[in-house]
A and B are shown apart, each in its own frame.
Chain A
Amino acid sequence: MPQLGSFTLLLGLALSVYAFVAGLFAIVRNDDRLSETARRAGIAVFLAVTAASALLVYAAFTNDFSVDYIRQHSNRALPGAYKFAALWSGQEGSLLFWCWLLATYGLILRLRHKVDTRLVAHASVVISAVQIFFLLLVNFAAHPFALGTGTIPADGNGLNPLLQYPEMVIHPPMLYLGYVGMTVPFCFALAALIMKYPGEKWIHITRRWTMVGWLFLTCGIFLGSYWAYKVLGWGGWWGWDPVENASLLPWLTGTAFLHSVMMQEKRGMMKMWNMWLIFSTFLLAIFGTFLTRSGVVSSVHAFAESDIGPYFVWFLALTFATCAFFFWRNRSHLESEHKLESLVSRESSFLFNNVLLLVATFAVLWGTLFPVLSEWVTGHKVTVGPPFFNKVNIPIALFLLLLTALGPLLAWRKTSAESIRKNFMVPAIIAVAVAVALAAGGMKPWVDISYFYALMTIMLSVLVAATIGSEFIRGGLVIARHNSSNVFHGMYLLTRRNTRRYGGYIVHLGVIVTMIGFAGVAFYQNTEQELSFGDKMSIGPYTLVCRSYTQDDKPNYSSEWAILDIFKNGKQIDTMYPEQRFYKASGQPATIVANRSTIMEDLYLVYTGKNPENGRPIIKAHLNPLVWWIWAGAHLILVGTIIALIPNMQAKSRKQSPPDKPRSLSDDVAERRAPVEAGTD
């Protein structure tokens, strides 16, 4: 079976090369027949890579330890879901998984080629080139079906225990869907640039694909931090680790793009900038993969060091050169169409939004790479850890929040000072009132810088919520007056008719809910204590009483845990079971955190092991306020993005336009119109 896997990988590579070369010739010679074979070859790549992935999963399920990858990342007693997850648990498998996702995106792109045949033909040449690179990697640098040396062992080394959690089954696919998803907008952008695509339709297509990629990336990042919180047991959810930073970089530029793209759609401005934002997003996604897998920077969860680094460097250089070349050649195509009417406008707020997001991108990238630079310049490594990133990024985030609050109040082109004053007054009063109340309630900003930041974050979040709320109500009232219905129906119609803008506002609401969750960090506390039967420990308003501790033995792991009764205000409210496991195949321990989450605070208990002298368990308790808000905000972001992806509903009064002419493009008129009308923000 591994041989068949190797064959399908080679076949996939050959087909990708064909799709690339034939696609290229078809474009140059304007040969439709050849173009169709290239398209089909692209679809066949999907079949080949799917077969390869299926064969690797099959090898995991049949415990085929002759394959080195399976030997390293699985064992007989591993539960089924985790055997499936073995596909993306190691270097070779995850690269194959990457190939498969890319092939899947390529499949969707090629199946939907009627959207714009010529544009898709160009885009699929670009995506084939990317596919060739990744298939070269799995075929020649990190072969997932490589056979192990020596005799075939009876059992494998098992999956890293840190990865044996349900969140971990879903987190990497989400993140990869996001990373790989950023390839599609890149392909469309480069294609549009190469063919000097007339008009902005390509940007409607690209924007939707970016939203899809952004959605997955966001989910992936949040799932990752949820996993870190639930599994790593250190009581935090973000550590500014290079790998986390790597996922944040394309997210930041992608976010910047999703905002500035509106300038291009609506006003024909910032075309060059947007082009480079997409290019950077893709390059950063690849760069992130390179960081994670090459061992350039040390990280908590980098893959084992390997020699695939140089491949990535060459690919990045080649991609950059290609982008720069076509940009230079066709830059005149990207000239702006409109001028800026006023500084006080939506346009300038988007510009500053982009400035801040890009500065944040730079700061994260800079901090991640500074150790490498420092070692190169001064000869010794330094650490750039959380204190650096927090100091640099928190002020940027606060400025961004302020812009988020102001943005909705600004109209396109020009906004009257009168209206800003009028619309800003009530939200500002509410926000300041909340801040004063919190300061009076003990959140004294002059005591500690972290309190100051927390207070500012909450105040600005309230401000954002208030301006968005008033924006919904104002818009709802306009529609309600027009339709003579009530304001809620008006708000509903508003959202249906302009899903992107109001979905976007819901995303902003999600962001501020998350931000409020982040602000809780200022008040985290923890304590550690040895607990024998009947012993008590207290943290905040909670008292923990040790009822018992015990142990168990399972095929995959052995475990011990404590049974703790939780009291609050003298009343028992819960029983919690912090646990520690010892995985047999890998010989590694892992903690299972017991967490009791409420809207106000999390009680987070870790069983840190037994005191070797007296055999008593040691419990570490964390009290983390407002963590619940982080995950709640993530859900809201998810909902908002999905709403933004739904096409707009037409107002009844609106006439259908234009009368469908039997034009040469008539095939795609219907499909063409949908994105155009969706792009009304």
Chain B
Amino acid sequence: MAKVLSNMPLAPGIYLLTVEGTYRARMGQFYMLRCWDSYPVLSRPISVHDISPESISFLYRAGGIGTHLLAKLQPGDSLQLEGPMGRGFPEPEGRTAIVGGGMGTAPMLLAARQLPEAQVFLGFKDAPFGVSRFQDIHSNVTVVSGGMIADHIDPACYDTILACGPVPMMEALAYKTEGSSAKLYVSVEKRMGCGIGACNSCAVTINGTVRKVCTDGPAFPAKEVNWIDLLSL
């Protein structure tokens, strides 16, 4: 069992949970979190927001039963962490852009930390949240509130783009990068059971074959993604 160091609201319904301990993760990987016994049945897959030698943190929205229970955690409380799960983002080549939209900014802080040369783009439907943590470690942070983040990115300026956000945002980026030499990788979501590749629940069609978000992803090359597949979460 791991111990909660802090669990602070950053915006209405959005929390930053920091857990004590030495953990490892590469950008885009996630952990399965659980702070309850048998209800809800499944643990919750939450991407790693940040990591330090003494702690790991997760940025999440209290949307359903599980995340509401997570939101009640107090410093000193214990919870279970299993991970890191998934392969995360691949190592980018050349000039890199990091793009996060809304809750999709959560996994991108670790990417920003691991890629100090990259340019960071953060998009929000309403008021931005968690931006200062990016600005603390990065000088190249563009923040857009309302509107389309894709409008602010010129794919010709990058060799690699790493993105996570709502499906329409990632799809817009995918259209925009078509015909450019930039390689776009998107981190996707599906309802997940085990997180370790055993239950085949989080299947997505990638390049015409069925893959698992948990162990084959959650990041995939955008041009191999079947977007319709991602609409039924």
**Chain A complexes with chain B:** no
Chain B interface (Cβ within 8 Å of chain A)?
Answer: none
Chain A interface (Cβ within 8 Å of chain B)?
Answer: none
